[in-house]
Each structure stands twice: as C-alpha cells, then as structure tokens.
Amino acid sequence: MCFKSNTNNQGKAIVSMSKICCELYFSSYGVARRAVLRIGFVFLLLLASLNMQAQKEGKLVPNLKGFDEKLIHFGFLIGVNTSNFSIIHSRAATPENDNKPRYAEVLDLQPGINLGIVTSLKLRKNLNLRVLPGLSFGQRDLSFIDTDSVRYDPLKIKSTFLEMPIMLKYGGDRNHNFKPYIIAGLNPRFDLAKKKQNGLLLNSFDLYYEIGAGFDSYLNYFRLSTEFKISIGMRDVLNHDGTGELLDMPYTQAIDKLTSRIFVLNFYFE
C-alpha cells in the first residue's frame, strides 16, 4: 500500500509539472520558448518512464537511503532558459527621430542553456543552503517602432552570464523515492559578452531574486531533481549615457528603464 501511495504522488507531481509547462507553452512568448519547453517535456517523460520501470521491477526499498542526512554533497546541473526584458518607455520625442517617440518591444524569445556545479549544505531537516556557480547563455531580440509604425532592424542582444545563485531549498517529507520542494534566493550575474550594441549599451552586472519549485527523484545511483524557477532582475541594465554615437541616442532615450526576466528549467544530478 505504501508503494501505491508513492506511485500516486509521483504521478500527480508529473501531471502538475506538465500543466505548468502547458500553460507556458500556449502563452505569447513565441516559438523559441516553445522549443525550450519541448526539451522540458522530454525530460519529464524520461522521468515518468524511470518511475514506471521501478514499479515494474517492484522496488519497494527506497533508493539512496540516508542521502538527505549528509552534511554536504555535490553535483552538477544542466538546463534551458529563455530571457525577456521588462520595458518602461520614456515616450521621449527627440530631434534625431524627427520629434517622434520610439517604442521598444521584445520579439520572439530565443532558447538558452545553463551549466553549473552544485554544492549543497544541510542546515536542518528539509532545509539546505545551495551554491550553484555556473554559466548561462541566452539571447534577446529587441525591436523598435515609431508612431508611424515604422519598424527598425532588431538588436540581437547576446549574453554569456557568469552567475552565482545562492538559494535556500525547503523540501517536504520524503515519500519513498519522491520529494517536492520550493526554492528562493539571490543570483548575481555578470555578463561576459557585454559589448556596445548597435543602438544600446547595457551594464554588465545585475542582481536577480529567484523563486521556484521542483521535485527530487531518488534513482539507483544518483538523485535527479527537476526544477522550474523565475529569475527577476532588480537593477536597470540600460546604460543611459548611450553608446556615444549621435544616431544611437533615440534608442537609448526611448527607454526609461530596462530590467531582465529569465525563465529557467533546470535538471540537477547529485
């Protein structure tokens, strides 16, 4: 009976994660985001197949018994992301743009990749401090349009972030080989690929706060964790001094504030 209850919980968790992905899939963020989520679906299906295989083999004994009692453990992560900007327009009319304001918008978002190392320290039962240094790669396409509906060539803003997430992970009680959890923390990011764009100059450093949820699956030889989180930038990343080029000033002056949003689906192997 215990094994049956665990099976139901695992199934509910997979269905719940699938519903989240479905809602994101049909949102308005574009084709690129859908491609990212397809990868997530593949991992979810893989996890479901592993659980079903364990059921067929009748493995009533929990895998990795005592894993959560370790003071410290290590691992690695791989994931996918898609990035966005939150834009506050200045509505400024400038002589360089025939005294007409320009408006910025993000076009279809592009998929990115996350790679990192996991260091997890147990603070108390079900509460861990996690440090996750790594790299993330992404791209945002920013387009400008004026009041005459004239659209300018999009700016392809590519980023390579050196990041250091510091997270608190709080989990529920383990049920056989399954354990849900929530996470929250801060993530300083430094853009190694920062350079002068045609029209905009962005600042290298930003500080993000992150929230998310996921679940741990205890397999034979390692623990696989599936996690979705939202990363929200706290700083204005636009350099308002501009690029120094007169023709680029309308782009900078069109934006009053530019902040980052990143959606991340990570898979941890510990």
- Asked which of 29-43, 134-148, 218-232, 249-263 is least confident by mean pLDDT, the reply is 29-43
pTM for the structure as a whole: 0.76
pLDDT 10s digits, 240-261: 887 767 667 777 888 899 999 9
Mean pLDDT, residues 202-220 taken together: 95
HEC assignment per residue over the chain: CHHHHHHHHHHHHHHHHHHHHHHHHCCCCCHHHHHHHHHHHHHHHHHHHHHHHHHHCCCCCCCCCCHHHCCEEEEEEEEEEEEEEEEEECCCEEHHHCCEEEEEEECCCCEEEEEEEEEEEEEECCEEEEECCEEEEEEEEEEEEECCCCECCCEEEEEEEEECCEEEEEECCCECCEEEEEEEEEEEEEECCCCCCCCCCECCEEEEEEEEEEEEEECCCCEEEEEEEEEEECCCCECCCCCCCHHHHHHHHCEEEEEEEEEEEEEEEC
Domain of 253 in residue numbering reads as: 2-269
Structural domain count, the chain: 1
pLDDT for res 162: 97
For position 89, which CATH number holds? Answer: 2.40.160.20
227-236: pLDDT as tens digits: 999 999 999 9
